[in-house]
Structure 1
Protein backbone atom coordinates (compact mmCIF):
# COMPACT_ATOMS: atom_id res chain seq x y z
CA UNK A 1 0.00 0.00 0.00
CA UNK A 2 1.43 3.38 -0.98
CA UNK A 3 1.49 6.15 1.57
CA UNK A 4 1.32 9.88 1.10
CA UNK A 5 5.09 10.08 1.78
CA UNK A 6 5.76 7.70 -1.12
CA UNK A 7 3.84 9.86 -3.55
CA UNK A 8 5.33 13.19 -2.53
CA UNK A 9 3.32 16.28 -1.77
CA UNK A 10 2.35 19.45 -3.51
CA UNK A 11 3.78 21.26 -0.46
CA UNK A 12 7.26 19.83 -1.01
CA UNK A 13 7.04 20.11 -4.77
CA UNK A 14 7.24 16.35 -5.31
CA UNK A 15 10.31 14.80 -6.80
CA UNK A 16 12.10 16.14 -9.85
CA UNK A 17 13.55 13.49 -12.17
CA UNK A 18 17.34 13.58 -12.51
CA UNK A 19 18.46 15.62 -15.51
CA UNK A 20 15.59 18.09 -15.32
CA UNK A 21 15.68 21.45 -13.58
CA UNK A 22 16.82 21.15 -10.01
CA UNK A 23 18.40 17.71 -10.58
CA UNK A 24 21.10 17.14 -7.96
CA UNK A 25 22.90 14.00 -6.87
CA UNK A 26 23.44 12.81 -3.29
CA UNK A 27 26.50 15.04 -2.87
CA UNK A 28 24.55 18.15 -3.88
CA UNK A 29 26.32 18.37 -7.23
CA UNK A 30 24.47 18.87 -10.53
CA UNK A 31 23.26 15.62 -12.07
CA UNK A 32 24.91 16.44 -15.41
CA UNK A 33 27.05 19.06 -17.12
CA UNK A 34 29.67 21.33 -15.57
CA UNK A 35 30.18 20.68 -11.87
CA UNK A 36 28.75 17.16 -11.98
CA UNK A 37 30.74 14.14 -10.82
CA UNK A 38 33.28 12.98 -13.36
CA UNK A 39 32.72 9.56 -14.92
CA UNK A 40 35.11 6.75 -14.02
CA UNK A 41 36.44 6.38 -17.58
CA UNK A 42 37.63 9.98 -17.77
CA UNK A 43 39.24 9.76 -14.34
CA UNK A 44 41.16 6.63 -15.31
CA UNK A 45 42.37 8.14 -18.59
CA UNK A 46 43.49 11.29 -16.76
CA UNK A 47 45.40 9.13 -14.28
CA UNK A 48 47.10 7.29 -17.15
CA UNK A 49 48.08 10.59 -18.80
CA UNK A 50 49.60 11.84 -15.53
CA UNK A 51 51.46 8.56 -14.98
CA UNK A 52 52.81 8.62 -18.56
CA UNK A 53 54.11 12.16 -18.04
CA UNK A 54 55.79 11.16 -14.78
CA UNK A 55 57.28 8.12 -16.52
CA UNK A 56 58.62 10.27 -19.37
CA UNK A 57 60.20 12.78 -16.97
CA UNK A 58 61.68 9.97 -14.89
CA UNK A 59 63.11 8.17 -17.91
CA UNK A 60 64.46 11.39 -19.46
CA UNK A 61 66.30 12.60 -16.36
CA UNK A 62 66.84 9.63 -14.04
CA UNK A 63 66.62 6.42 -16.05
CA UNK A 64 63.87 3.90 -15.52
CA UNK A 65 63.45 3.86 -11.72
CA UNK A 66 59.87 3.13 -10.57
CA UNK A 67 60.33 4.90 -7.23
CA UNK A 68 61.51 8.07 -8.97
CA UNK A 69 58.49 7.86 -11.27
CA UNK A 70 56.20 7.53 -8.23
CA UNK A 71 57.91 10.50 -6.56
CA UNK A 72 57.50 12.65 -9.67
CA UNK A 73 53.85 11.59 -9.96
CA UNK A 74 53.28 12.50 -6.31
CA UNK A 75 54.95 15.91 -6.59
CA UNK A 76 53.02 16.72 -9.78
CA UNK A 77 49.73 15.77 -8.10
CA UNK A 78 50.46 17.59 -4.87
CA UNK A 79 51.51 20.86 -6.47
CA UNK A 80 48.94 20.98 -9.27
CA UNK A 81 45.88 19.73 -7.36
CA UNK A 82 46.65 21.88 -4.31
CA UNK A 83 47.21 25.07 -6.27
CA UNK A 84 45.08 24.98 -9.44
CA UNK A 85 42.73 22.06 -8.74
CA UNK A 86 43.73 19.80 -11.61
CA UNK A 87 46.65 17.80 -12.92
CA UNK A 88 47.66 17.91 -16.57
CA UNK A 89 45.60 14.79 -17.23
CA UNK A 90 42.58 16.29 -15.48
CA UNK A 91 42.93 19.48 -17.50
CA UNK A 92 43.17 17.62 -20.83
CA UNK A 93 40.03 15.62 -20.04
CA UNK A 94 38.01 18.55 -18.69
CA UNK A 95 38.12 17.51 -15.01
CA UNK A 96 38.80 19.35 -11.77
CA UNK A 97 39.34 18.35 -8.14
CA UNK A 98 37.14 20.43 -5.82
CA UNK A 99 36.47 20.61 -2.12
CA UNK A 100 33.10 19.17 -1.36
CA UNK A 101 30.41 21.29 0.29
CA UNK A 102 32.24 24.63 0.09
CA UNK A 103 30.74 27.82 -1.29
CA UNK A 104 32.91 30.17 -3.33
CA UNK A 105 36.41 29.14 -4.46
CA UNK A 106 36.81 25.38 -4.44
CA UNK A 107 40.62 25.21 -4.22
CA UNK A 108 41.79 22.05 -2.51
CA UNK A 109 44.69 23.58 -0.57
CA UNK A 110 47.99 22.04 0.51
CA UNK A 111 46.73 20.05 3.51
CA UNK A 112 43.92 18.30 1.66
CA UNK A 113 46.17 17.92 -1.37
CA UNK A 114 48.78 16.17 0.76
CA UNK A 115 46.27 13.69 2.23
CA UNK A 116 44.82 13.02 -1.22
CA UNK A 117 48.22 12.54 -2.87
CA UNK A 118 49.61 10.23 -0.18
CA UNK A 119 46.56 7.98 -0.35
CA UNK A 120 46.54 8.10 -4.16
CA UNK A 121 50.13 6.85 -4.22
CA UNK A 122 49.23 3.89 -2.00
CA UNK A 123 47.09 2.63 -4.94
CA UNK A 124 44.49 0.74 -2.84
CA UNK A 125 42.43 3.79 -1.69
CA UNK A 126 41.72 5.03 -5.23
CA UNK A 127 40.39 1.66 -6.39
CA UNK A 128 38.02 1.32 -3.42
CA UNK A 129 35.16 3.75 -3.84
CA UNK A 130 31.80 4.45 -2.25
CA UNK A 131 28.28 4.58 -3.67
CA UNK A 132 28.94 8.15 -4.87
CA UNK A 133 31.92 7.04 -6.97
CA UNK A 134 34.54 8.73 -4.79
CA UNK A 135 37.71 6.87 -3.93
CA UNK A 136 38.89 6.61 -0.33
CA UNK A 137 41.56 9.22 -1.11
CA UNK A 138 38.88 11.74 -2.11
CA UNK A 139 36.67 10.89 0.87
CA UNK A 140 39.56 11.33 3.32
CA UNK A 141 40.51 14.68 1.77
CA UNK A 142 36.91 15.91 1.46
CA UNK A 143 37.25 16.31 -2.29
CA UNK A 144 35.44 15.20 -5.44
CA UNK A 145 36.46 15.11 -9.11
CA UNK A 146 33.97 17.00 -11.28
CA UNK A 147 33.57 18.05 -14.90
CA UNK A 148 34.81 21.55 -15.69
Structure 2
Protein backbone atom coordinates (compact mmCIF):
# COMPACT_ATOMS: atom_id res chain seq x y z
CA UNK A 1 0.00 0.00 0.00
CA UNK A 2 1.26 3.47 -0.86
CA UNK A 3 1.87 5.91 1.97
CA UNK A 4 -0.33 8.98 1.27
CA UNK A 5 1.91 11.12 3.48
CA UNK A 6 5.14 10.23 1.69
CA UNK A 7 6.62 13.11 -0.32
CA UNK A 8 6.06 12.95 -4.06
CA UNK A 9 9.16 11.98 -6.04
CA UNK A 10 11.02 14.87 -7.64
CA UNK A 11 10.35 15.39 -11.35
CA UNK A 12 13.18 13.93 -13.46
CA UNK A 13 14.20 17.40 -14.69
CA UNK A 14 14.94 18.58 -11.15
CA UNK A 15 16.17 15.33 -9.59
CA UNK A 16 19.98 15.42 -9.36
CA UNK A 17 20.00 11.65 -8.68
CA UNK A 18 17.90 10.75 -11.74
CA UNK A 19 19.25 7.60 -13.36
CA UNK A 20 17.60 6.45 -16.59
CA UNK A 21 16.86 2.76 -17.14
CA UNK A 22 19.36 0.75 -19.13
CA UNK A 23 19.16 0.60 -22.89
CA UNK A 24 18.65 -3.15 -22.51
CA UNK A 25 15.41 -2.66 -20.57
CA UNK A 26 14.20 -0.07 -23.04
CA UNK A 27 15.04 -2.30 -26.01
CA UNK A 28 13.39 -5.27 -24.27
CA UNK A 29 10.19 -3.27 -23.83
CA UNK A 30 10.26 -2.26 -27.49
CA UNK A 31 10.74 -5.88 -28.63
CA UNK A 32 7.80 -7.03 -26.49
CA UNK A 33 5.61 -4.23 -27.84
CA UNK A 34 6.70 -4.97 -31.42
CA UNK A 35 5.77 -8.65 -31.10
CA UNK A 36 2.36 -7.66 -29.71
CA UNK A 37 1.91 -5.24 -32.62
CA UNK A 38 2.81 -7.93 -35.15
CA UNK A 39 0.21 -10.23 -33.59
CA UNK A 40 -2.47 -7.53 -33.43
CA UNK A 41 -1.90 -6.36 -37.01
CA UNK A 42 -2.59 -9.89 -38.29
CA UNK A 43 -6.28 -9.22 -37.56
CA UNK A 44 -6.53 -6.70 -40.41
CA UNK A 45 -3.43 -7.12 -42.62
CA UNK A 46 -0.52 -9.37 -43.45
CA UNK A 47 2.38 -7.81 -41.50
CA UNK A 48 4.93 -9.36 -43.88
CA UNK A 49 3.31 -7.99 -47.03
CA UNK A 50 1.85 -4.84 -45.45
CA UNK A 51 4.77 -3.47 -43.44
CA UNK A 52 2.79 -0.36 -42.49
CA UNK A 53 0.31 -2.38 -40.39
CA UNK A 54 2.48 -3.22 -37.34
CA UNK A 55 3.98 0.28 -37.41
CA UNK A 56 0.48 1.78 -37.31
CA UNK A 57 -0.45 -0.49 -34.40
CA UNK A 58 2.76 0.49 -32.57
CA UNK A 59 2.04 4.21 -32.95
CA UNK A 60 -1.54 3.74 -31.74
CA UNK A 61 -0.40 1.47 -28.89
CA UNK A 62 2.05 4.13 -27.72
CA UNK A 63 -0.58 6.87 -27.98
CA UNK A 64 -3.13 4.92 -25.96
CA UNK A 65 -0.97 3.27 -23.31
CA UNK A 66 1.57 6.06 -22.75
CA UNK A 67 -1.07 8.76 -22.91
CA UNK A 68 -3.33 7.13 -20.34
CA UNK A 69 -1.12 4.83 -18.27
CA UNK A 70 2.49 6.03 -18.79
CA UNK A 71 3.47 2.45 -19.77
CA UNK A 72 3.03 0.17 -22.74
CA UNK A 73 2.64 -3.56 -22.02
CA UNK A 74 6.36 -4.03 -22.81
CA UNK A 75 7.28 -1.22 -20.43
CA UNK A 76 5.14 -2.78 -17.72
CA UNK A 77 6.95 -6.10 -18.07
CA UNK A 78 10.40 -4.48 -18.06
CA UNK A 79 9.41 -2.12 -15.20
CA UNK A 80 9.93 1.20 -16.93
CA UNK A 81 7.57 4.05 -17.74
CA UNK A 82 7.43 7.22 -19.81
CA UNK A 83 6.56 10.45 -18.02
CA UNK A 84 6.79 14.18 -18.53
CA UNK A 85 10.35 15.44 -18.08
CA UNK A 86 9.32 18.62 -16.29
CA UNK A 87 6.77 17.34 -13.76
CA UNK A 88 6.87 13.51 -13.80
CA UNK A 89 3.19 13.23 -14.76
CA UNK A 90 1.55 11.49 -17.71
CA UNK A 91 2.31 12.96 -21.11
CA UNK A 92 -1.27 12.71 -22.44
CA UNK A 93 -2.65 11.32 -25.67
CA UNK A 94 -1.46 13.99 -28.11
CA UNK A 95 2.17 14.01 -26.93
CA UNK A 96 2.15 10.20 -26.71
CA UNK A 97 0.88 10.01 -30.31
CA UNK A 98 3.61 12.41 -31.47
CA UNK A 99 6.22 10.42 -29.52
CA UNK A 100 5.02 7.19 -31.18
CA UNK A 101 5.19 8.77 -34.65
CA UNK A 102 8.73 10.01 -34.00
CA UNK A 103 9.75 6.62 -32.58
CA UNK A 104 8.46 4.97 -35.77
CA UNK A 105 11.00 7.06 -37.70
CA UNK A 106 13.75 5.31 -35.64
CA UNK A 107 16.47 7.96 -36.11
CA UNK A 108 15.12 10.38 -33.45
CA UNK A 109 15.36 7.60 -30.87
CA UNK A 110 19.03 7.03 -31.68
CA UNK A 111 20.12 10.61 -30.98
CA UNK A 112 20.30 10.66 -27.17
CA UNK A 113 21.46 13.06 -24.49
CA UNK A 114 23.11 12.27 -21.14
CA UNK A 115 19.72 11.23 -19.67
CA UNK A 116 19.14 8.78 -22.56
CA UNK A 117 16.40 11.06 -23.90
CA UNK A 118 16.12 10.67 -27.66
CA UNK A 119 14.89 13.45 -29.93
CA UNK A 120 11.44 11.88 -29.68
CA UNK A 121 11.60 12.41 -25.90
CA UNK A 122 12.97 15.95 -26.06
CA UNK A 123 10.41 17.06 -28.65
CA UNK A 124 7.55 15.71 -26.50
CA UNK A 125 9.03 16.76 -23.12
CA UNK A 126 9.13 13.13 -21.97
CA UNK A 127 11.61 10.75 -20.41
CA UNK A 128 11.78 7.02 -19.76
CA UNK A 129 12.27 6.27 -16.07
CA UNK A 130 12.37 3.18 -13.87
CA UNK A 131 8.86 2.31 -12.72
CA UNK A 132 8.25 2.61 -8.98
CA UNK A 133 7.95 -0.64 -7.08
CA UNK A 134 4.34 -1.60 -6.32
The interval holding the TM-score normalised by the smaller chain is 0.7 to 0.9
Of 85, 88, 94, 2:70 maps to 85
By relative contact order (CA 8 Å, sep 6+), the higher-ranking structure is 2
- DSSP-derived class of the 1:96 partner: strand
Spell out the pairing of 1:1-148 with structure 2 (5 A cutoff): 27-29=13-15, 31=17, 36-64=19-47, 65-102=50-87, 106-148=89-131
Structure 1 unpaired stretches of 5+: 1-23
TM-score by length of 2: 0.80
Count of aligned pairs: 119
Which structure has the greater CA radius of gyration?
Answer: 1
* CA distance in structure 2 between the aligned counterparts of 1:85 and 1:137, rounded to whole angstroms: 15
Name the stretch that deviates more: 124-133 or 85-94.
124-133
Structure 2 unpaired stretches of 5+: 1-9
CA positional deviation for 1:122: 0.9
CA positional deviation for 1:74: 0.8
TM-score by length of 1: 0.73
CA positional deviation for 1:101: 1.9
- Note the aligned Cα RMSD (angstroms): 2.0
CA positional deviation for 1:28: 2.9
- DSSP-derived class of the 1:117 partner: helix
Determine if contact 1:96/1:146 at 8 Å carries over to the other structure: yes
